[in-house]
Structure 1
Amino acid sequence: MQHQVTPPASASRELSRDEGLRFRRNVTFGRIVFISRATPAIRVVSHAMDGVDLLLGLPYESEINALLTHTSPVVYQADLLDAATRLGWSVVLSGRAGLVEDPEEVEHALRRLRPWPGERIDVVVRIHPELVTGFHVAEVGAGGP
């Protein structure tokens, strides 16, 4: 006789700005979204926190470098979702991104960033979040919503 396992009841709730910033500290990678050649472009990148700002390590790509020569609007998304339980969180921030050019700041960032295996970091980008949104899905009655 087979027994079907019923997944725990879960609920989703929106995250506050502070919660979103706090959750983002739990992962070291996410996705940067920017406009390139009049279309959205997405790259998976490593990140580290610097206060509320986000530092990204990117390989050199002329389209990214050209975009970020001036402070540019971007979107960054990070999450930690479990495919089996469908529990976790996702945070999206919108803000202005620019290249970090001060050699000491770049060195500091490089010590903190954890790139993907085989990924090289040629440029460091700082994003100052202007808008932070997100959601958290947790089991009902287990410290969740």
Structure 2
Amino acid sequence: MFSGGNSPTTRARFPRGEAVHYREHALSLGVPDEAVLVESKAANTGQNITFSRELLAKAGIRVESLLLISKPYMERRSHATCRKLWPEVDVVCASEPLELDDYIKSIGDEKLVVDMLVGDLQRVIEYPKLGFAVEQEVPADVYDAYERLVRAGFDSRLVTG
């Protein structure tokens, strides 16, 4: 199951949507087409989980456990979102081993990467209050660093409103 449409940071790399490109890559590696489901409308993690769950149910696939794969900085939020939206499954999150410097090089914009990290942590903090995820402890020193980064202007990926 591949899930995802486009986001501002992936549009250039995956112009037809993330899930479509991941499917094509899987097929090029020899995965049979009939073994792949594609959900290409999701625009956020909650939609990835909700739309994938619906598509799997429609296909008659009963899910007891799943592996969510995301960028390293998104694992905590992905897990918390899945626990909220699909609490009856056992979920494990994973990501490719990726050093921060390598991720910055792949994006090509150091400030944008820090903005994305800050925005993701904001979601870990705020989404439980909105009912989007289960609550997680954020250590005080991490929260303090988050606040310093926001004050320093790393705020283009913050959710407002």
TM-score (norm 1): 0.22
Q: Which of the two has greater strand per residue?
A: 1
TM-score (norm 2): 0.20
Q: Which has the larger radius of gyration?
A: 1
